[in-house]
Amino acid sequence: MSARALNDDDGGHPRVLVSTRTSGAPTTPLDVPALAALARETLVAEGQQRSELSLSFVDEDEIADLYRRYMDEDGPTDVLSFPLDDDVDEHGVRVLGDVVVCPAVAVRNAPRDPGTELRLLVVHGVLHLLGYDHEGDDERAEMWARQERYSGVTVP
């Protein structure tokens, strides 16, 4: 397990705390610094300069357990977001919550280009922390447009 903060922590940039908890051989090269930077860039674009989130990369067993416990769904999924309710730390930084990504599922989703899929999943998770959703058509259109803008990935 590794955990580290990847940020431009001068008080005016978002902080992304990263944890990698995948077991066995990596299923895809995981460019953690680039994915953390993407999460940070998404936060800046959304006006969240003084914010923090955790970004975890986990194996299928861990994400399946989380999916079952918190969403009452079976099997592994690709990304989960766990928002906090406007929690602000002692330095005035908004602590947004946790984004949990499963690289093995990303590989199955997009075997030809798992790196692009990981970019999409990170942005998707961050947008959920910021309150975006895709239940209704209008909500989905807005979230997908932002997701495409920040990740560079088009979703049909």
Tokens 């909500």 belong to: 139
- pLDDT tens digits, one per residue of 49-76: 999 999 999 999 999 999 999 999 999 9
SS3 144: helix
Residues 23-52, mean pLDDT to the nearest whole number: 88
pLDDT at 1 over 60: no
Q: What pLDDT, on a 0 to 100 scale, did the predictor assign at position 155?
A: 83
User: Residue 43: which of 73, 69, 8, 75 has the closest Cα?
Assistant: 8
Beta bridge partners of 51: 94
Single pTM value for the model: 0.89
- pLDDT tens digits, one per residue of 79-118: 999 999 777 888 889 999 999 999 999 999 999 999 999 9
